[in-house]
Amino acid sequence: MAQRELYLYVVDGCETCQRARARLESCKTIAARGTLVVRSLSEPSTKRPAALVGVPSVMLEGEIIAMGTPDCCAVGALLAAMDRE
């Protein structure tokens, strides 16, 4: 089972971003199959991916897989499906 990096893009002061982070950090399925990397677009050094259209956004392998407050079951199922490939 490969450990995949999930990127959560957020901005400072965004309550939905805080909820998305809390939900992803509490998801055991994601913790077992991936690593959550939080990137704040409020930091000048953070590069904005071309595919990013809003925050919070969850990206995996360069693709947006969730926006807003993500469904942990759906994200976990996607990671599990990728492991089966």
State pLDDT tens for residues 10-37. Answer: 999 999 999 999 999 998 888 888 899 9
DSSP letter, residue 35: E
CATH of domain 4-84: 3.40.30.10
pLDDT given at position 77: 86
d(CA 41, CA 65): 18
The CA-CA-CA angle for residues 68, 25, 46, to 5°, reads 65
> Residue 1: is its pLDDT beyond 70?
no
Average pLDDT of 27-56?
92
Specify the pTM: 0.91
